[in-house]
Chain A
Amino acid sequence: MITIPYLTALTTYFSYGLLFAFGQLRDFFRKIFDWWKASNLQGYAPICLGLEDFYIRRLYLRIQDCFGRPIASAPDAWFDVVERYSNDNNKTLKRTTKISRCLNLGSYNYLGFAAADEYCTPRVIESLRRFSPSTCSARVDGGTTTLHTELEECVAKFVQKPAAVVFGMGYVTNSAILPVLIGKGGLIISDSLNHNSIVNGARGSGATVRVFQHNTPSHLEKVLREHIAEGQPRTHRPWKKIIVIVEGIYSMEGELCKLPEIVAICKKYKAYVYLDEAHSIGAVGKSGRGVCELLGVDTADVDIMMGTFTKSFGSCGGYISGSRELIQYLKYTCPAHLYATSISPPAAQQIISAIKVLLGEDGTSRGAQKLARIRENSNFFRSELQKMGFEVLGDNDSPVMPIMLYNPAKIPAFSRECLNQNVAVVTVAFPATPLLLARARICISASHTKEDLLQSLEVISRVGDMVGIKYFPAEPKKQQQEKGMIKVD
């Protein structure tokens, strides 16, 4: 829970109100203009009705240059951002050939595997030559190669579960697994801030979906008790099964999930636990095995563990791991396994090599070094930002740190100023976050050096002063006292 100071909430509401009023005014003139000119739709309904894209047309397009910035190199610690210009007030943006070298604080590159790596890349190129970029076939047809079976064993061993199955995209993993596991007559209880892929999968399954307050195990217990006692809506028959879905690290808050309490509650009420470790696999935990290792939860207690390889392993794809019977059943019924093209072989090789590096099986200690570095980097960065007076969310050890901005005008100001000083940050607004709570999200990587971090801290501090987002009093530099840093829960 984030508590906004009253003045900030007032000014934010006022800014949005002003933008909304201007947008409606322009829409009104546009309507008159369109009525004047004949429309050429000839009896078809417009493809986008009225207020559906109001937010896009009137608010988002004004700051469109802060999003979707193209890059011209690998998304490593330093990368090349392509400059764009616009002739029609940000409605369309055109690329130039100029690039600027910026510090990357936005890409999900937690362990630094994004660019060419000395152990992984030669092996990836070799597998490319051997298996070519795609198998053009579904896993059950002709798309299973020796690489795929090796990958699944490797992943199962890494996550410490009996078996695993791998798909070509993380989003599809959630959307295609949930309908297979649960259907009409089942209940899904998901955290209120879960990712869109989980929401889509839950909706597509046909089960009843209920939400519990973000990361609050007591509310989860209340919801579970109420629903088990009442049964299905209207018929009051008992539920067929109940699945509780939580994430390891929530990408917009940077918080860790309260897994031990949630698993205890689910065991008591006989519900199944589905853990989505998209951001936490490989990034937290002593040997990178995710939130279960970090919080000391036995992996046998979590029924279904899901994760993606895009963030920490520098590849693409998603996996599900669980008991052998579960994986066998999924391989027989899941549409993503039966119909979709299997994961590209070079990407599979990249994951295998990255896991080998992490476990130290390549003969060096680079894996352990990376894990230690990302932990140090995240904790250092977070504490420095808090000392400067920024409002930073998230728990210790998590490499994702959102800085609160609140006001809609501060979003483009912060983003553009930082880019001018060669630091690339990511700003997020509605609809990915609630309307009032816009933020800038920083993702730390193991490939950031201490100098990179200090430079970026300097830039962020300067820009923060200019834009006015230091909502908390800064700690005085020499003294070590804590100045009542009450914060978020």
Chain B
Amino acid sequence: MFEASLNSQIEISSAMASAVLKIVNTTLDWVTFALDAPSARAVVFGVQIGGHLFVEVLLLVVILFLLSQKSYKPPKRPLTKKEIDELCDEWVPEPLIPPLTEEMQSEPPVLESAAGPHTVVNGKEVVNFASANYLGLIGHEKLLASCTTALEKYGVGSCGPRGFYGTIDVHLDCEARIAKFLGTPDSILYSYGLSTMFSAIPAFAKRGDIIVVDEGVHWGIQNGLHLSRSTIVYFKHNDMESLRNTLEKVTAENERAKKLRRYIVVEAVYQNSGQIAPLDEIIRLKEEYRFRVLLDESNSFGVLGSSGRGLTEYYGVPIEKIDIVTAAMGHALATEGGFCTGSARVIDHQRLSSSGYVFSASLPPYLASAAITAIDVLEENPVLLKKLKENIALLWKGLSDIPGLSIASNVESPIVFLKLEKSTGSMKNDLILLEDIADRALKEDNIFVVASKRSTIDKCRLAVGIRLFVSAAHSESDLRKASASLKRVAALVLRS
């Protein structure tokens, strides 16, 4: 019995096994038949394609599909209108201006007559050292006569930019006169001294260009550099060693840049310190390292050089070596406005790309005719230059031994810059002391001098001081009075 059931079990299991085997065989046959289809027998490039290729292709497709799915990102939820309303209500702006402090309330002295060497302040006559009237042309008869004729003929304003009927024949005459005086091919007139530099620089330097500039330049130049968006590198004030090192570094970093324009910007006589730039050294460096030079001659035009032609004549450098010369006319020429001169290409380019020239009204015609007359007077009377140089030397001698103040400017510069020998450490306190000196000199001795003031957005970090502008129209007694007064007042203020 037992053997019979065992035998039947073995029979059943073998029957099942054979059934399963049969099914498997049928499936395999069927699959092999499908995979043995003519396409599967193809021989591509000598490699026999078996049926397994289809499975691999299917796997590849699945992988590619999964890879191409985007990774899971949380959905973006923009702010709702209510949230924006709340944010807008919450936001509190700063006040437009910071609260006013004590020193912001001070008012400058008000003149009651022309700003010549002697002027009237508060009813008293004072000796004026605050106007950059280097040649003493304020109040000159010839200037007043030519201005009067121009006013009667042209009125006051020119009522339009240079491109749209604002070009008056006196403008063209003035440009020609300046070019003839300096010996350059052409020049261009701007309607304001400050806008000359900050319109000329962005016309020639764009993003990516390199400008090496002295750290003591005035705000107009700083603004022009900022607007040009070029790479700015500063060098130490009037230090040629520092300039050489900076040029070396800059050229080493930018060896292969053929299309980069490179400029050096200096002032002839620095407004902020009275130093004179050593032009011959600069020209040597410029030619060695292949830079272009922009020179601002506001305080040296009509002052330096044997005939007043500026820094180039002073150093004996031909003016063609300087690429661009700019100057404000509000100093020696006793009018307003500015000009720029250089080669014809440089000037023509500015007529269309300099924003302060194209988008602004032109210089009033009477000021342009005053400039022409001033240059005529300068050419006819070189004795003015000699007188100015003598006055500067006299004043230098008189001011060189004031206790507590030292002269920071060059011995031949028309701006005599007195700074504190021992600074108190902060610019604000220095300024308080210096303004005290200037106030007392005005009130007690009738000498009108000013302390140099800095704007909050000015980047220059040079020392502040008292500035005296020497004029050819000052007499010896004026200069002696000024030296004596400053000595007395400085001793009084700085002792305490």
Contact = CB atoms under 8 A, between A and B. Distances in A.
Given A73-B154, A197-B359, A326-B96, A129 B144 contact: yes
B156 A136 contact: no
Contacts of A181: 96-97
B156 A43 contact: no
B93 A140 contact: no
B346 interface: yes
B227 A316 contact: no
A338 interface: yes
B268 interface: no
B104 A332 contact: yes
Interface stretch (A171-179, A210-218, A449-457): A171-179
B310 interface: no
Interface in A149-170: 149, 168-170
B88 interface: yes
Contacts of B270: none
A144 B100 contact: no
B83 interface: yes
| Residue from B290, B336, B370 having most chain A Cβ neighbours under 10 A | B336
Interface string A105-133: 01111000111110011001100111111
Nearest to B154: A74
Contact of A116 (B155, B192, B458): B155
Contacts of A175: 195, 198, 223
B258 A310 contact: no
A115 B155 contact: yes
B110 A114 contact: no
Contacts of B345: 47-48
B162 interface: yes
A132 B192 contact: no
Nearest to A41: B290
Interface string A44-70: 110111000100100010000001111
A346 interface: yes
A341 B164 contact: no
Interface in B436-470: 448, 450, 453-458, 467, 469
A162 to B, nearest CB: 14
A129 B160 CA distance: 26
A335 B355 contact: no
A133 B159 contact: no
B343 to A, nearest CB: 9
B91 A228 contact: yes
A146 B123 CA distance: 12
A133 B88 contact: no
Contact of B130 (A117, A137, A203): A137
B115 A47 contact: no
Contact of A171 (B108, B195, B226, B367): B195
Contact of A71 (B110, B119, B169, B458): B169
Contacts of B157: 113-114, 309-310, 313-316, 347, 350
A435 B169 CA distance: 32
B79 A132 contact: no
B380 to A, nearest CB: 19
A384 interface: no
B225 to A, nearest CB: 10
Contacts of B383: none
A421 to B, nearest CB: 17
A272 interface: yes
Contacts of B168: 70-72
A168 B220 contact: no
A242 B92 CA distance: 10
A261 to B, nearest CB: 17
B382 interface: no
A229 B258 CA distance: 46
A44 B367 CA distance: 37
A284 to B, nearest CB: 18
B396 interface: no
Given A146-B111, A270-B92, A128 B455 contact: no
A433 to B, nearest CB: 13
Contacts of A56: 352-353
Interface string A233-252: 00000111110000000000
Given A145-B111, A170-B360, A133 B93 contact: no
A73 B116 CA distance: 31
Interface in A328-376: 328-329, 332-336, 338-341, 344, 346-347, 350
A314 B261 CA distance: 41
B128 interface: yes
A192 interface: no
Nearest to B292: A44
A213 B259 CA distance: 37
B241 interface: no
A336 B194 contact: yes
Contacts of A53: 349, 352-353
Contacts of B167: 68-71
Given A128-B151, A195-B359, A196-B359, A72 B169 contact: yes
A141 interface: yes
Nearest to B456: A333
Nearest to A45: B261
A128 B87 CA distance: 57
Contacts of A45: 258-262
B193 A144 contact: no
Contact of B151 (A104, A116, A197, A329): A116
B111 A134 contact: no
Nearest to A80: B169
B274 interface: no
Contact of A197 (B271, B360, B366, B370): B360
Contacts of A104: 165
B104 A70 contact: no
A339 B198 contact: no
B259 A49 contact: yes
Contacts of B139: 132
B364 interface: yes
Contacts of A169: 191-192, 194-195, 360
Contact of B165 (A69, A242, A308): A69
Interface stretch (B41-49, B311-319, B326-334): B326-334
B144 A128 contact: yes
Nearest to B126: A142
A215 B345 CA distance: 40
A335 B93 contact: no
A140 B450 contact: yes
Nearest to B93: A241
B393 interface: no
Contact of B155 (A42, A113, A168): A113
Contacts of B163: 67-68
Contacts of B79: 229
Interface string A257-295: 000000000000111100000000000000000000000
Given A132-B114, A181-B96, A270-B91, A335 B455 contact: yes
B279 interface: no
A241 B198 CA distance: 27
Given A45-B260, A47-B345, A114-B157, A200 B93 contact: no
18 contacts: A70-B167, A72-B168, A74-B153, A75-B165, A75-B166, A95-B172, A115-B154, A124-B156, A129-B144, A134-B367, A135-B138, A142-B108, A176-B194, A196-B355, A229-B84, A242-B93, A333-B457, A341-B192
Interface of A: 42-45, 47-49, 53, 56, 60, 67-76, 79, 81-82, 95, 104, 106-109, 113-117, 120-121, 124-125, 128-137, 139-146, 148-149, 168-172, 175-176, 179-181, 183, 195-197, 200, 203-204, 224-226, 228-229, 238-242, 269-272, 303-304, 308-311, 313-316, 325-326, 328-329, 332-336, 338-341, 344, 346-347, 350, 424, 426
By Cβ-Cβ distance, the 9 closest A-B pairs, closest first, are A142-B130, A341-B330, A169-B192, A340-B194, A171-B360, A310-B361, A137-B131, A107-B159, A196-B359
Given A142-B128, A181-B96, A335-B219, 4 more contacts: A180-B456, A238-B91, A272-B96, A329-B98
